[in-house]
């Protein structure tokens, strides 16, 4: 289980065996892989009635019918391992192991949007207001112009291997190999948010209501109030 996305009462899960759909809060699941040419789903994103999936080695796929069928949407992607997806207005961003790509037409075509990224091994993306953040193997980068340019924002981080990003209100959380860090109220400095964590190697983050959940390597899931 690598990623989730939700649209109304539909919950989608990306796994090593494709995409699955639950319409009953996870009580049961159905595979929805018709048209996918690969099964390793690393990223999912919803934009209005469109569902996007990032497939390892196969690029981006689009479904306009909640996963009943898929079509490839990768023209212009020069790296087809898509590790993350993010939506900002009419812009769709794909994080790959060769930087960030931008599509303004629901994946019909893509252009490189990596100027300023000094590490292009992009593992996570997050949108906070008009700002786009990229978590990489070499730190976190910020773009305030839809990927036209990027600047590093790593002050306060004690480890720059960033696997996950999550947004809650005006706060941004980063999951690193040295724990969780908070970028509060569009600030300029990260502060550690690790109290209670027995394992600080963070693999995933998720916000649900008033809680932040952290998936760790080797010691399960941990929760903290926001």
Q: pLDDT at position 156, please?
A: 96
Half-sphere exposure of 107 (CA within 13 A, CB side): 24
C-alpha–C-alpha distance, residues 178 and 161, integer Å: 8
What's the pLDDT score for residue 218?
86
Which residue's entry shows tokens 């289980």?
1
Is the per-residue pLDDT at 66 higher than 70? yes
Please state whether beta strands 122-128 and 30-31 pair in parallel, antiparallel, or not at all (unpaired). unpaired
Could you give the CA distance from residue 31 to residue 34 in angstroms, rounded to a whole number?
9
pLDDT of residue 80: 86
Q: If 0-12 CB within 10 Å is exposed, 13-18 middle and 19+ buried, where does residue 192 land?
A: middle
* Contact between residue 51 and residue 17 where contact means Cβ atoms under 8 Å apart: no
CATH assignment of 1-113, among 2.130.10.10, 1.20.140.10, 3.60.15.10, 3.40.50.1820: 2.130.10.10
pLDDT of 183-219, one tens digit each?
Answer: 986 668 999 999 999 989 999 999 888 899 998 988 8
Q: Are 114 and 126 in contact (CB under 8 A)?
A: no
Strand 50-55 relative to strand 59-63, pairing: antiparallel
What local confidence, expressed as pLDDT, does residue 122 receive? 97
Q: Does the pLDDT value for residue 182 go beyond 90?
A: yes
Q: Where are the beta strands (DSSP E) in 73-161?
A: 82-88, 91-96, 99-103, 111-112, 122-128, 131-136, 139-143, 151-152
pLDDT of 185: 67
Q: Could you count the other beta carbons within 10 Å of the beta carbon of residue 132?
A: 24
Give yes or no for residue 1 having a pLDDT over 70: yes
- How far apart (Å, rounded) are the C-alpha atoms in residues 125 and 84? 6
- Tell me the Ramachandran region of residue 26: left when phi exceeds 0, alpha when psi lies from -120 to 50, beta otherwise: left
Segment 126-181, tens digit of pLDDT: 999 999 999 999 999 999 999 999 999 999 999 999 999 999 999 999 999 999 99
Q: Is 92's pLDDT higher than 80?
A: yes
Quick one: which of 180, 175, 213, 214 has its CA closest to 194?
Answer: 180
Q: Which residues make beta-bridge pairs with 29?
A: none
Task: Indicate the helix (H) or strand (E) that contains 7.
Answer: strand 3-7
Residue spans per domain, the chain: 1-113
At 3-60, the pLDDT tens digits run: 889 898 999 999 999 999 999 988 999 999 999 998 899 999 999 899 999 998 999 9
Per-residue confidence (pLDDT) for residue 188, from 0 to 100: 82
* Averaged pLDDT, 99-121: 96
Give residue 33's pLDDT.
96
Question: What pLDDT was estimated at residue 25?
Answer: 85
């Amino acid at each position: 289980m690598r990623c989730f996305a939700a649209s109304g009462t539909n919950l989608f899960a990306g796994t090593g065996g494709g995409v699955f759909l639950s319409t009953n809060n996870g009580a049961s699941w159905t595979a929805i892989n018709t048209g996918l040419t690969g099964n390793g789903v690393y990223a999912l994103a919803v934009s209005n009635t469109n569902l996007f999936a990032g497939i390892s080695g196969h690029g981006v796929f689009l479904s306009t019918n909640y996963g009943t069928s898929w079509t490839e949407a990768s023209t212009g992607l020069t790296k087809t391992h898509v590790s993350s997806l993010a939506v900002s207005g009419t812009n769709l961003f794909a994080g790959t192991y060769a930087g960030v790509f931008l599509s303004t037409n629901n994946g019909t075509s893509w252009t490189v949007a990596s100027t300023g990224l000094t590490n292009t091994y992009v593992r996570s993306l997050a949108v906070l207001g008009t700002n786009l953040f990229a978590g990489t193997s070499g730190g976190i980068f910020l773009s305030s112009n839809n990927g036209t340019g990027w600047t590093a924002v790593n002050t306060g981080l004690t480890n720059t291997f960033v696997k996950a990003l999550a947004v809650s209100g005006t706060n941004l959380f980063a999951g690193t190999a040295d724990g969780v860090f908070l970028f509060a109220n569009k600030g300029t400095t990260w502060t550690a948010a690790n109290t209670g964590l027995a394992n600080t190697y963070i693999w995933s983050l998720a916000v649900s209501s008033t809680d932040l959940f952290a998936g760790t390597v080797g010691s399960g899931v941990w929760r903290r109030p926001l």
